[in-house]
Amino acid sequence: MSTESTKSEKRSAATAMAVPLRHADDELLAKLGYKSEFKREFSLIETIAFAFSIMGVIASVSSTFSFPLEIVGGHVGMVFGWLIPSLFVMTVAASMAELASSMPTSAGLYYFSAKLAPPKYSALASWITGWANITGQVTLVCSIDFTCAQMITSALAVGPTYGILLAILFVHGVVCSAATNVLARLNLFYVIVNVGTSVAAIIALLVCSGDNKVSTKDAFTMYENNTGWSNSGWAFLLAFTAPMWTLTGYDSAAHIAEETAGAARAAPIAIFVGSVRRLSRLDHLHRRLLRDDLRLRSPQHDPPAADGPALPQRARQARHAGYWSFIIVVQFVTGAAQGVDASRVVFAFARDNALPGSRWWKMMNGHTQTPVNAVWLVMVLAGICGLLGFSETALSSLAGASVIGLYTSYVTPIFLRITSGRNRLVPGPFSLGKWYLPIGAIACSMNYAVVIIMAVFIFASISWIVSARKWFKGPVTTVEQKCIKLQIMDGA
């Protein structure tokens, strides 16, 4: 038998196995109230790659490294300012994985809130969670791409940051408009770039650091408060902002659940495994950075001290520009992955008629079978948010808005899970069992962002009172109940 014939038979067998799996996914989606509109092209590995790609480890660390190290806490701020949140956010990821396994739909967080809240408050919980998540998603696209634009501006030693931002958003709009199978393959490339650049940075720091290392004692005990606040305890808490901006995207696998084969299993595995891989990579990178006491800076700044005075200035700058270029690539692909994530949230919320102009944003492109209109809405809104970049204070607020919006949307369904939703959740393949309560309680208690969510909360609450309560009824069923019963019978 020829090699080509063997390959053809294997492909046919794989396709035959995938059909029942996708049929089961569509049945489950129908039970949740939605008809299947996407092609299920993401495999388990590609779903994990997508969840991992949303956080570009080396780019995220390098763009936030100086704040905790030089301003908020010094080495103590960098070590424990990352370690403490990292331990707690795993409880968020675990809780999110359980919910995604039970209800694998692109609607994600606001759907979870709707189903776990008391019936009287179901639509309200869904409305607030949805707006908080969209706010976080869109501003995160902008903050990631704006940071990428700043990196490019620094490398070129020129100033048109906003123009570069718009160019990046345009390219990301084109990429995110692609068919699902293209996006799935691209994420394998994204994760290779992410992991490869992180490993290369660790090795480079190890080789180049020479004798320019701080002691282990200093790395874990040297505290500096350069914030101007006299209370060092409050100043130390500010160190949490860097990891909280980086450690987001737990819900990303849930938002592509309708494009994933075996979503009830793949989505929670991607959320949990992706989070563990991120934190292990971050831990390794941080230990190397702190032991070497180096700064990852843009090329126009002084090169790392480890290069030594013997190396010519031009050579040092060239080497620094080389690995800075890789960091820019990581940030770029992170923004591309985040663009897909945000567009799926917009599509799902529009599908439930919760956005102005919903009929446009929920349209599926006939060629790619993806929500292209939603993609470009995200890019346009991110471009508008980018105007805030002309002010450092406003840009910091933009990053804060993404953190606040996302973590509020994370904690709401988790809080409902451990309160009114204790007996309302039908467990999926991944379940926390009796541990859902303590894990969920820890996830909620660490979410200090809820305290300062007033902007989005007030907007969502006022719009609810003024208008939305009269017409927004929560997730909309897009399949006929008769069809659901027939599908269940067929499946049986």
**What DSSP string describes 327-358?**
HHHHHHHHHHHHHHHHHHHHHHHHHTT-STTH
Q: What is the DSSP string of 365-386?
A: PTTT-S-HHHHHHHHHHHHHHG
**What residue type is assigned to position 314 of the chain?**
R
Helix axes 372-385, 313-351, angle to 10 degrees: 130
Decide: 255 and 103 in contact? Cβ < 8 Å: no
**What residue type is assigned to position 310 of the chain?**
A
The length of the chain in residues reads 492
**Pure H helices in 263-309:** 263-292
Q: Which residues of 282-298 are buried (b: 16+ CB within 10 A; e: fewer)?
A: beebbebbbbbbbbbbb
Look up tokens 């985040």; give the residue: 338
Decide: 126 and 114 in contact? Cβ < 8 Å: yes
Superfamily of domain 39-491: Amino acid/polyamine transporter I (1.20.1740.10)
Decide: 348 and 255 in contact? Cβ < 8 Å: yes
Decide: 134 and 349 in contact? Cβ < 8 Å: yes
Decide: 271 and 97 in contact? Cβ < 8 Å: yes
List the pLDDT tens digit at each of the 492 positions of the chain. Answer: 444 444 444 444 444 444 455 678 888 888 888 888 998 999 888 998 888 888 766 666 666 666 666 666 666 767 777 777 777 888 888 999 999 999 999 999 999 999 999 999 999 999 999 999 999 899 889 988 988 888 888 777 666 888 899 999 999 999 999 999 999 999 889 888 888 887 777 777 677 666 666 666 766 677 777 666 666 666 676 667 666 667 777 788 889 999 998 899 999 888 877 777 666 656 555 555 555 544 444 444 433 333 433 344 444 555 566 667 888 888 899 899 999 999 999 999 999 999 999 999 999 999 999 999 999 999 999 999 888 766 666 666 677 778 778 888 888 999 999 999 988 898 899 999 999 999 999 888 765 544 444 555 566 667 777 777 778 777 777 776 555 454 544 544
Domain boundaries along the sequence of the chain? 39-491
